[in-house]
Structure 1
Amino acid sequence: MAGITHLMEHMLFKGTPSMDALGIAEAFEGIGAQENAATGEEYTVLYARFLPEHLERALDIMSDMITRPTFADLEREREVIVEEIRMYEDRPDQLADEYLSGLVFHGDPLGRPIIGSAETVRGVDHDTLKGFHRNTYTAPNVFVVGAGKLESESFEKMVEEKLGAALPSGEPFVRRAQVTPPESRFFYKFKETEQYHVAMGSQGIPASSGDRYAMLALNNVLGGGMSSRLFQEVREKRGLAYAVYSYHQGYSDAGAVKMYVGSTTGNVEEAVKIIAEQLDRVREEPVTEEELHRTKEQLKSSTILALESTATRMTRVGRSVITGSELLTPEEISARIDAVTAEDVKRLAEGHLKRGDMYLSAVGPKELDLGRHLAA
């Protein structure tokens, strides 16, 4: 049921047999911890940041939340999420991305909104939620990652003591993408906005693909920074948009290449036309050695610098486990990036950036024939 994973995330904070919602908040604050949770397309993460001496207490709190939620105040929390849904509906750029995912991953859960809809959220009762928790929060599907000042062996022992007997057994969850072509490659949503929001994209590659570093390079060349082609051609040279960029989303068994531009209703057609022309260019012309070198240095720098954050390290390890990606050292990452060639970038562009394979979603005050710029 769409939205139930996100609802479950909220309910983890509503209480356990030993702590109500206030008790959980006070328990974390009692050790000076910063706690939160998030739900993505493939996982929910509950995380906390605290001083090393509070590790065992933090694990006690989080283990209790994971294994023994009481599902208190379900009715009230459902309405909180409905308000959250309305908040997202006020963000047309995010809506455009959501609609694009619905096209790229049509027929698959990846194409559904993580947060669900007011109708689906209000349709979840206590029995449904308890069944979901019982079948999903099982030993094969719960992973614990720690990053910071800790000793690996003692950490593993502590986790086993807290969760080993508390989590039920079960089958490991395995994703199998089942994408079907939508009736149309284009979707428009009317919204009275000052700016016209457009998302474009196509099928990408899984997070574990051997081409993932070449895909990072392709994305960086196309729209990953201020020197990227989309930024330079759409914003700097023509002043058609403030925000224009591209990105790649990799999952355990699928992926998506995406682009976004926000422009005025009068300029958006030209902006989309320029983006389509840049797709042709990156497919037909190999990137220059200078451009590729600059991209590699950007990727190595951003990747290595990000590892200075314990939160990034934690997330990186967790995602590698869930998506089946190889966990590499910083030196190995740099070597993989350095190994990317101009031919690799062109090959991926040819495989994933054809106009005829692209989907487009738009949110704005007037329907425009933007799809004609993506004719095969």
Structure 2
Amino acid sequence: MLKRARFIIILLLFSSAVYAGGSKVILDNGIKFIENKRDYNPTFSLVIMIKGGLFLENDKNSGIGNIALSTWVKSSELLKYVEEKGGSLHASNGSDFAEISLSIPSKYIDSVLPLLEKLFFERKIDDKIFDNEKRITLMRIKTILDRPDEYAIKNFMKTTYNGFPYSRDVSGDYDTVDKLTIDDIKSYLNKLISGKNMIVSIAGSFEKEQSEKLKTFFEKLNEGHEIKIDCNGSEIVDTKKVELPHKNIKQAKLFLGFDAPPANSNDYIKVKLLADVLGGGMSSVFFNILRKEKGYAYSVGSFYPSKLCNSRFVNYIGMNYENVDDAVATFLSVGKNPEKYISKEDVSKAKNYLMGRILMEAQTNYKRAWYAAFFELLGLGYDFFDSYIDNLENITLEDIIIVAKKYINDKYTLFILKPTN
């Protein structure tokens, strides 16, 4: 009881420090501009998320997003300046959105602003940097067999989404990346950078005048056309089982995925917690059964990615191939009979771990800006983190049992990467 009281006090202290304040305005060109002033931390972070991700790619240009974004940022004067001042500037593409993020000591904000404006309005693509990014990407794709875990996840996603945009890997395929040109990159960026699909989130120590300059600058970007995300085809329709041999592994890698809700679902936080209860660490249900009791696994766990469309609740395990059938049966049994395996203590431990991890992570200005943009893009609202913590605290054992039975069922994708022998 005393331990729980201490945890609640810590939670309240962190919550008031991390999540208080924040505001959002919509600029004339459709950009959602979010700011969170935190003057006690003399750093500044800016996160830009642009809706689209894999939905802006196709079978002919798969992988263009990552190469375009990395080439664009690395070709800029901004990157050199930020790194010289001890800051960071990154850009990448994801399943639902592209991200550009910048973090720097606050005293350099005024110097960064004109370089940031130049990044967007005087877009430069360096030939040598493009060739190098393309070469590195092709080499990584070519050597994926040397990274069995990555290879297994890539093929699981390809199997479970079966032609839906999420089935493509953000790195792309060798043939599509090999054919990309600088003109392709420029055309992609012109289409990507549009106000109606953009969220700009800032956090840290900054002056009102600096914030207003950012708004004025971003408001000059083209409005563009809003990207409509069509989620038809993202659900699991039929049970699939695929086994793929791999000559460089001695143990099988098993991924068992179930249809899971998009992030705007009322079940979102409950399923997030379920993933930690079942496979979130050494005190999780699956770890205790499959690793401690049965001695099957060298690694076991669960994950549930946040997606705009239907996600997957994935159980994974690395083990000897002869134990695969029993492992699958165990995963299914726990899902269908969660009341036999999950206790109040399991839920409480997972809840405390998840809350602590999120609260500690969100102490940085970068993560504060990132979460605000992320939840806004998912349709949950820039201030959803406040609700996230409250809702997480109120989840009960009964809630977890209900969502386990709801989502862990007989309709799933089973992918096994197995030794050739």
Q: What TM-score range do you get, normalising by the shorter chain?
A: 0.7 to 0.9
Residues 242-273 of structure 1: CA deviation (Å, up to 9, x unaligned): 21000111212322111211123344444334
Quick check: which one's strand share is greater? 2
Residues 64-99 of structure 1: CA deviation (Å, up to 9, x unaligned): 334433332234432221112234442211222222
Which position in structure 1 is the counterpart of 2:271? 215
Which position in structure 2 is the counterpart of 1:178? 232
- Secondary structure of 1:315's match? helix
- CA 155–87 in structure 1, closer or farther in 2 if over 3 Å, else same: farther
Among candidates 36, 43, 48, match of residue 90 of structure 2: 36
**Does residue 1:80 correspond to 2:140, yes or no?**
no
Distance in 2 of aligned mates of 1:8 and 1:296 = 39
Distance in 1 of aligned mates of 2:356 and 2:74 = 41
- CA 77–305 in structure 1, closer or farther in 2 if over 3 Å, else same: closer
**Does residue 1:159 correspond to 2:229, yes or no?**
no
1:1-376 map, 5 Å: 1=58, 2-16=62-76, 19=77, 24-73=78-127, 74-151=130-207, 153-165=208-220, 167-179=221-233, 185-192=240-247, 193-282=249-338, 285=340, 287-328=342-383, 332-354=387-409, 356-366=410-420
Distance in 2 of aligned mates of 1:179 and 1:329 = 28
Q: Which amino acid aligns with 2:293?
A: K
Distance in 2 of aligned mates of 1:39 and 1:60 = 25
TM superposition shift of 1:326? 3.0
Answer yes or no: is the 8 Å Cα contact 1:200–1:259 preserved in 2: yes
Answer yes or no: is the 8 Å Cα contact 1:234–1:275 preserved in 2: no
Moved more, 46-55 or 65-74: 65-74
- Secondary structure of 1:253's match? coil
Unaligned runs of 5+ in 1: 368-376
Distance in 2 of aligned mates of 1:362 and 1:51 = 47
- CA 191–67 in structure 1, closer or farther in 2 if over 3 Å, else same: farther
Answer yes or no: is the 8 Å Cα contact 2:70–2:90 preserved in 1: no
Equivalent pairs, count: 357
- CA 241–204 in structure 1, closer or farther in 2 if over 3 Å, else same: same
Answer yes or no: is the 8 Å Cα contact 2:244–2:417 preserved in 1: yes
- So what's the TM-score if we normalise by structure 1? 0.86
What CA RMSD, in Å, does the superposition of the two structures yield over aligned residues?
2.5
Larger RCO, structure (CA 8 Å, separation 6 or more): 2
TM superposition shift of 1:52? 0.7
TM superposition shift of 1:29? 2.6
Answer yes or no: is the 8 Å Cα contact 1:208–1:252 preserved in 2: yes
Unaligned runs of 5+ in 2: 1-57
TM superposition shift of 1:4? 1.2
Report the identity percentage.
20
TM superposition shift of 1:358? 1.4
Answer yes or no: is the 8 Å Cα contact 1:60–1:162 preserved in 2: no
Answer yes or no: is the 8 Å Cα contact 1:203–1:256 preserved in 2: yes
- CA 303–26 in structure 1, closer or farther in 2 if over 3 Å, else same: closer
- So what's the TM-score if we normalise by structure 2? 0.77
Answer yes or no: is the 8 Å Cα contact 2:125–2:182 preserved in 1: yes
Answer yes or no: is the 8 Å Cα contact 1:204–1:257 preserved in 2: yes
Moved more, 293-302 or 37-46: 293-302
Distance in 2 of aligned mates of 1:303 and 1:199 = 26
Q: Which amino acid aligns with 2:159?
A: L
Answer yes or no: is the 8 Å Cα contact 2:199–2:373 preserved in 1: yes
- Secondary structure of 2:305's match? strand
Distance in 2 of aligned mates of 1:202 and 1:67 = 44
Which position in structure 2 is the counterpart of 1:371? none
Q: Which amino acid aligns with 1:265?
A: Y
Answer yes or no: is the 8 Å Cα contact 2:332–2:408 preserved in 1: no
